[in-house]
Structure 1
Amino acid sequence: MAKTRVAFLWHMHQPLYREPETGEYLMPWVRLHATRAYYDMAWMLERHPGVRCTVNFTPVLLEQLEDYARGTARDRFLDLTARPAEELGPEERQQLLKSFFMVDWETVIRPLPRYWSLLHQRGRDIRQIDLARTAERFTTADLTDLQVLFNLGWMGFGALADDEGLRALREKGRDFGRADVDYLLAAQRRIVGEIAPRWRRLAERGQVELSTTPYFHPILPLVCDTDVARRALPGLPLPQRFAWPEDARWHVREAIAVHERIFGRRPDGMWPAEGSVSPEALEVFASEGVGWLCTDEAVLFRSLSPDPPRLRTLYRPWLAEAGAGRAVRMLFRDRGLSDLIGFTYARTPAREAVADLVSHLESIGTAWTDAELDGPATVGVFLDGENPWEHFQGSGFEFLDELYRQLEGSQTLATATVSEATAAPAGPAIARIHSGSWIEGSYRIWIGHQEDRQAWTALAKAREALEQVRDVPPERLDRARRHLYAAEGSDWYWWYGEDFTTELAAEFDSLFRGHVLAACHLVGAPPPPEALEPIKRVGPTAAAALKPLREPTLLLSPRLDGQETTYFEWQGAGLYRPGQHRGSMFGGAQAFNVLHFGFDLGRLYLRLDPAESPERSREVASSVRVELTCDGRTERVEFALTDGGPFAGRWREGPLGEAAFARILELGVPFAPLQLAPRARVAVAVHVLRGGVAVERLPRYGYLDVQVPDEDFERVHWRV
């Protein structure tokens, strides 16, 4: 029996953080991801030479890595670290407290006692903190420790293993001095400089295939013509039409040139930004000599006749017609398996997670053999190669090490690069590829909101203005075009609208508009009115519109029966919507999409509303675990999801609490047995599990901050 081929594609990308006018880098994520993901992933593959995979680096990321390696890139976070704490002004001290906890609290901050203490000294809920007053209470020693611990927390397992000095800093843990800061920053710069050469060596020895993405990570079909968005969403309102296929061709051609310069050879294939394809985009790719493309299963299934059989359709390479008699090889990802790594396994013990993934892969191979299908089954597992590891314990060391070890020794599974996996497509070519992306099979995320449309309109007006100018020196015109190419990148549109949130939304908005305005300034064209004022709504008004979190205002007494018995029984509860707290990655199906929370004087109450239906939630999840942390102590109460109710939860070795699940899931957890006294502040998280594997967390990151009520709660919170 032929081994099932597993084609991993790890996608590495960061947008252009360099401010158009000043050249300053507004955000540090290129530098910080280099010291974890980019270094760690190479480090792990070097120790597992039997594992083959594809790693995708965007050109805009590679050139920013070069800037940092040369020492010509400076970001605000780097400057805040490099400056002695005693020299920081009041606003800089506040910025340090606001920004230097931007890392996973559970996996990075909690394991470092001093860092965890500094977080509690600042306070967990930034909305409730007077930063100016809080900053005054932080000593120079506190701030120096925070400078070191933030940067040290972003060091992955590879950097720590290879650098004795970094391990010594971690073991020291506190009371750092300027020499420690200097050592840490020098180590960062050295690591950044090693990224591209290390990956090039892995490619040269044949273990890794390196691929690329159109230069600034644009949604290439929308650059070709924004009107194609209506193919997947016919009623979608659209902005002023933007149709510049020559820009799309520049992104592809320039990406190939940069890749060849840095890695020494031309890439065979590309991961289109966000898996976005269309017939017009495929023509551009194929005419520029791109051999293969990858995207999501939703695009494949919507490109074929209705309801094609999943097994024989998904787990094989394809050819897709790309105009002018050309075709491009394609492989489509198994979304479920990819999302398990990206969003589920981080909170699961590594051995259990790997066993679960391997069993899925082996089941596909068995089903393929039983169906007597030709050739080996080929499973595409494509996902972000950098963001998930922040949320794994130990930056994913145990998971990756165990996964690669099992794959190296497997008798039924074999890893392959995408070039190997797509070498021999069989059967007829896909006549017309679906116009969509790896998210929802459409481009809604990047063009479906009023803010998106305002941004596209500003871009369209600026792009047309460039074509009208005369008597502008070629060098200035080229610089202006490059600014607009940067503004075509997908990342700005990701943060517009209400689907995703970030504390740095204003900075992303400023970067986008800065490129549009800089282009117009260079050629003397009038700036688009749409770019003169902030597009992204931030501040109190936006927060009210998004309603990501509503605090409890009344004591509750719901009847725990799994039904919304009356409208009023959850009135006054707090409200959390997980979909509106998504960050830089997009996950798969949810079990629950709304969490209500509140309490009476004796119990915490939680209500979880199914994302699709109660039946679907029961398929996705088998139990729910309520995690409560107070004064450094964590208690966990787990409820097996059975129909109806009431049923008890399990705490330690005995029953605790009460729940019911019918149309909704309602839970009650008493305070007294958990020794949670009135006015105690409790951090609450809800973990949704399937067979012991965590499939969802509410909130996805961080905690709900709950204060156990006392007799005065309603008097204090009463309002008309």
Structure 2
Amino acid sequence: MTPARSLHVVFCWHMHQPDYRDAQGVYRFPWTYLHACKDYVDMLAHLEDNPLARAVFNFVPVLVEQLDDYSAQFQRQEFRDPLLLALATPNLKTLDVTLRHALLEQCFRLDPEHMLNPFPAYRRLYDLWQFIRQDAAEMGDYLSVQYLADLVVWYHLAWTGETLRRRSSLIQRLMAKGSGFDFADRSALLQCLGETITGLLPRYRALAQTGQIEISSTPYQHPIAPLLLDFHAARDGLPAAPLPDCAQYPGGAERVKAQLQDALTSHAEHFGGAPQGIWPAEGGISADFVALLGAEGLQWTASGEGVLGRSLAHSYPDSSAAQGRADYLYRAYRLQGQGPHLFFRDDALSDRIGFDYKTWSGHDAATDFVQRLEGIWRATEGQQAPIVSVILDGENAWEYYPYNGFYFLGELYRALSNHPHLQLCTFADYVREHGDAAQALPVLASGSWVYGNFSTWIGDPAKNRAWDLLCHAKTAVDQEIASFDAQHQEQIRQQLARCEGSDWFWWFGDYNPGEAVRDFDHLYRDHLRQLYALLQRPAPAELDHPISAGGGSAESGGTMRRGQAEGS
């Protein structure tokens, strides 16, 4: 009997937060642990609840490092995050005025439609805050300690995942209480959050050990590797793109190799072995970078659909035959038939999750998604082992969904796990079982998962200025690092790696929320200042001035990072 023909479906959920710590190890922004309590726990729980579902989870090492750090804070009850410190402080009157004002500003940074308005008690706190802001310069001084206690508790309740709420009687009790939270309430909530965060990575590791999920990685601090290797990679997709004044990033190849090797080491320490695949930061790939991955023994990597389209145009420039997406997208490739397998994101399907389905009912969205996959299954008849790659962030989209995407994800996994023609798998599964189905790709274009090029990270005046500041700092590192002992040299390299992350360059631009642009601009310059401090050299005066003229509206705060702008 001939086996049923299947369409392989891979969900790759990218988990990433940049390093939010300052030189003293204090967290400037709480997004790492808040996403852990809301999104990373929900994404895991859906797989635990459905043993037939399969997925890839990509954990960036700098995120894992911060989760480890938060776990240590909970174990020691010594908090370096202002929000957690507020929960842990018995008498909130002892908090200084600056911290109280910062908490008031922070505790409404979320999506109001799904994380504020559904909770009348929380909404009342917001309405009062808005009234006070209009009438008093020192607004925080007019609000009671009880107001602050209720606000801090509600902010954390709003940032809990739907699966956690349904399983935790404490969360349910606090939500029902609504107001008048005392120190015992805050202590109990703090313990719940601590147990959630410290248990998170072991739970993911357990699923990986059963083979239900694959855990992949990214170079350590999420650098956009093709640009570190060569700024001119930006002109592959945009030939007229303005480049930084510096001709290239000094020693870029060595830095990419170091960040990659550090990631492999970290992954082995946390998950019991080397990853089989790498999701590159921002889906940014180039032929040179893929060669580096192959040299490290990686079996697969992935990027965006636009990169594949340009790669095929470069490979077959004289071809006039118009092809449908089903003829080229739903395959694995290898560059010139060698090296890691290359998978390319179905942008339309991935972006439906990232952008569109948030306004649908969970049932209708899941049904629509499955029907679209069934259409691809029919369109790929005759192809050997067709595969659909759905790749997006595992964190940022869900706060814009009702119930954090609970009904959509639950129904989607159930439908796909029991479908006769759609087979959930991981990239490692596919390479192992169908690796010989990969087609040779003569030329690989350089680009990312956003527009298929690098315009989101280079070419804008502010972005280019940020690159030049990094290049100048790297030159200083090269000049000074040999004068320090081995331990201090490693501190310098770690700080340099933080400055190389892709997030800093992404945020510059007027298409991002103004408040978030200012946050990341300031943190990036702080990281550069700390690098100069480690070199025992004065920081350039230009680091005292904002890189960007500003952003767009000041809505939402730091969580719009990828769920809004990149469909993931």
Whether the TM-score (by the shorter chain) exceeds 0.5 is yes
> Judging changes above 3 Å, is the alpha-carbon distance between structure 1 residues 284 and 376 closer, same or farther for their aligned structure 2 residues?
closer
The equivalent of 2:108 in structure 1 is 101
* SS at 1:9 equivalent: strand
The equivalent of 2:259 in structure 1 is 251
Contact 2:450 2:566 in 1 (8 A): no
The equivalent of 2:332 in structure 1 is 317
Amino acid across the alignment from 1:86: K
What is the CA–CA distance in structure 1 between the aligned matches of 2:38 and 2:380, rounded to whole Å?
37
What is the CA–CA distance in structure 2 between the aligned matches of 1:526 and 1:230, rounded to whole Å?
34
1:670-685 aligned at under 5 Å gives the runs none
> Judging changes above 3 Å, is the alpha-carbon distance between structure 1 residues 169 and 74 closer, same or farther for their aligned structure 2 residues?
same
Amino acid across the alignment from 1:395: N
Output one character per residue of 1:475-520: Cα deviation in whole Å (capped at 9) or x when no partner.
2222112211110001111111222225243332232222222222
Are residues 1:280 and 2:288 paired? yes
Contact 1:296 1:438 in 2 (8 A): yes
Which is worse superposed, 503-512 or 219-228? 503-512
Are residues 1:349 and 2:364 paired? no
Amino acid across the alignment from 1:287: A
What is the CA–CA distance in structure 2 between the aligned matches of 1:454 and 1:35, rounded to whole Å?
36
* Structure 1 residue 394 displacement after superposition: 1.2
The equivalent of 2:16 in structure 1 is 13
Larger radius of gyration: 1
* Structure 1 residue 459 displacement after superposition: 0.9
> Judging changes above 3 Å, is the alpha-carbon distance between structure 1 residues 70 and 406 closer, same or farther for their aligned structure 2 residues?
same
The equivalent of 2:84 in structure 1 is 78
Contact 2:395 2:563 in 1 (8 A): no
* Structure 1 residue 174 displacement after superposition: 1.6
Are residues 1:51 and 2:60 paired? no
* SS at 1:293 equivalent: strand
| Structure whose residues are more often helix by fraction | 2
1:105-504 aligned at under 5 Å gives the runs 105-123=112-130, 129=134, 132-239=137-244, 240=246, 241-243=248-250, 244-305=252-313, 308-321=323-336, 326-369=338-381, 373-422=382-431, 423-426=434-437, 428-469=439-480, 470-504=482-516
What is the CA–CA distance in structure 1 between the aligned matches of 2:355 and 2:560, rounded to whole Å?
12
Contact 2:165 2:171 in 1 (8 A): yes
* Structure 1 residue 134 displacement after superposition: 3.9
The equivalent of 1:717 in structure 2 is none
Which stretches of structure 1, 4 residues or more, deviate above 4 A after TM superposition? 586-590
* SS at 2:560 equivalent: coil
What is the CA–CA distance in structure 2 between the aligned matches of 1:37 and 1:28, rounded to whole Å?
14
Which is worse superposed, 97-106 or 498-507? 498-507
* SS at 1:387 equivalent: coil
Output one character per residue of 1:528-586: Cα deviation in whole Å (capped at 9) or x when no partner.
4543433233xxxx46xx5x59xxxxxxxxxxxxxxxxxxxxxxxxxxxx9x9993126
Contact 1:454 1:530 in 2 (8 A): no
> Judging changes above 3 Å, is the alpha-carbon distance between structure 1 residues 425 and 582 closer, same or farther for their aligned structure 2 residues?
farther
Aligned-residue identity in percent: 36
* Structure 1 residue 188 displacement after superposition: 1.0
* Structure 1 residue 269 displacement after superposition: 0.1
1:601-640 aligned at under 5 Å gives the runs none
What is the CA–CA distance in structure 1 between the aligned matches of 2:566 and 2:532, rounded to whole Å?
42
1:593-608 aligned at under 5 Å gives the runs none
* SS at 1:454 equivalent: helix
Output one character per residue of 1:108-141: Cα deviation in whole Å (capped at 9) or x when no partner.
21121100111122229x9x74564543443322
* SS at 2:515 equivalent: coil
Structure 2 stretches of 5 or more lacking a match? none
The equivalent of 1:4 in structure 2 is 7
TM-score (norm 2): 0.91
What is the CA–CA distance in structure 1 between the aligned matches of 2:418 and 2:439, rounded to whole Å?
35
Amino acid across the alignment from 1:432: V
Output one character per residue of 1:291-343: Cα deviation in whole Å (capped at 9) or x when no partner.
1001111001100136543112001111124xxx9421011111011011111
* Structure number with higher relative contact order (C-alpha < 8 Å, ≥ 6 residues apart): 2
What is the CA–CA distance in structure 2 between the aligned matches of 1:401 and 1:209, rounded to whole Å?
19
* SS at 1:506 equivalent: helix
| Structure whose residues are more often strand by fraction | 1
Contact 1:455 1:531 in 2 (8 A): no
Work out the number of aligned pairs and report it. 545
Contact 1:278 1:436 in 2 (8 A): yes
Contact 1:301 1:308 in 2 (8 A): no
* SS at 1:447 equivalent: coil
TM-score (norm 1): 0.72
Contact 2:21 2:28 in 1 (8 A): yes
* Structure 1 residue 406 displacement after superposition: 0.8
1:6-45 aligned at under 5 Å gives the runs 6-19=9-22, 21-45=23-47
